[in-house]
Amino acid sequence: MIELTCKTFADTELAPKAGLFDKEHKFPEEQVRKLGELGLMGIVVSPDYGGSGLDYVSYAIAMAEISRGCASTGVIMSVNNSLYNGPIDNFGNEQQKQKFLTPVASGTHIGCFMLSEPGNGSDAGAASTTAVDKGSHWLINGAKAWITNAHDAHYGVLFATTNKSLKHKGISAFIIDMSTPGISIGKKEDKLGIRASSTGTITFEDVKIPKDNLLGVEGNGFKIAMSTLDAGRIGVAGQAIGIAHASLDCAVKYSKERKAFDQSISNLYAIQEKLADISTGLDAARLLTFKAAMLKDKNLPFTKDAAQAKLFASELATKAAHQAIQVLGGMGYVSDMPAERHYRDARITEIYEGTSEIQRLVIAGSLLKEYSS
């Protein structure tokens, strides 16, 4: 049911407009609002807090179909579901869930996740943004970089150092109202792909937030961030699957219509080989992603599986988009066709929520532990 709902929405509301959104760097406000109405901005969140109460397999399916229509809309949906809703749903208290989770999970507001900084990148434990306990409030100073939904978010989950001497164990998580005085947002980054989603640097200058906005316990921020990213990788894998699927759709359609040597080029072995490889990879990526989602739904360890799913699906998305352009030839290189947009959109899936290099470290680390036990 959710696959059909998302497929219909992608085909009617997203795919016809995705090229324009990309060209104009336009946030798909109306489409995001409709995603909320469909319950897709809080898929795994309980209906008690505005969500749909579904499982992670449903989330992976939804991410793939929505991203097939528009990868930018997919990442907006992914950040909302995995990176904002996830930590509040898992670590927030009842008051925090009612105030900060319900409006975002229901789709009336947008959330963001503020972990990366200008100087830390993949070293998430080196947070230079600080949160100082002032008795009646927390005082926050610092900057967060590469924040998806930066210019559109109403609320955000922030990670800041509360005790520098403890290093990563001195990082805490906070819920931020983005309208709080002292918060400023830099220019929208002019990105290679996913251009309809906003990305920017968020600066905090003597920002006062209530003591009640501490998420979980003090010093637990790094753990919250890592567990959140584990689940988020299922969403990114779904996004990558959607991009790869869109690339395959584009390549197959064009190959059947394009004539050369008195026949459709789909009859040529060189073309069939590319289509076969993309199709095979796509099914493998789906199975890896659904396995990770099923493990999470059963509360079983899934860190390695989520990393494998994201690694394989993201690299497949880049390969599929690359090969789709080869099938289209010159037509794949111009914006009249969506192949070049898929190619640009695919590249980021190998970078955010942990680069491919980080995924291989996670996989290898988990694997070596399994062999040691």
Residues taking part in catalysis: 353
Residue 245, beta-bridge partner list: none
* Cβ 115 vs Cβ 126: under 8 Å: no
CB atoms within 10 A of CB 91: 19
Closest CA to 217 of 158, 161, 174, 176: 174
Determine the Cα–Cα distance for residues 26 and 196; give it in Å rounded to an integer. 5
Residue type at 235 in one-letter notation: G
Residue 183, beta-bridge partner list: 204
DSSP E strand stretches across the chain: 111-114, 130-133, 137-148, 155-161, 171-177, 183-185, 199-210, 214-215, 259-260, 263-264
Structure tokens at 320: 């599929």
Determine the Cα–Cα distance for residues 327 and 258; give it in Å rounded to an integer. 10
The half-sphere exposure of 334 on its side-chain side, counting CA atoms within 13 A, is 4
Closest CA to 143 of 167, 110, 114: 114
Structure tokens at 365: 């680390």
Determine the Cα–Cα distance for residues 125 and 139; give it in Å rounded to an integer. 20
* Cβ 7 vs Cβ 65: under 8 Å: yes
Give how far the C-alpha of residue 33 lies from the chain's centroid of Cα atoms, to the nearest Å.
18
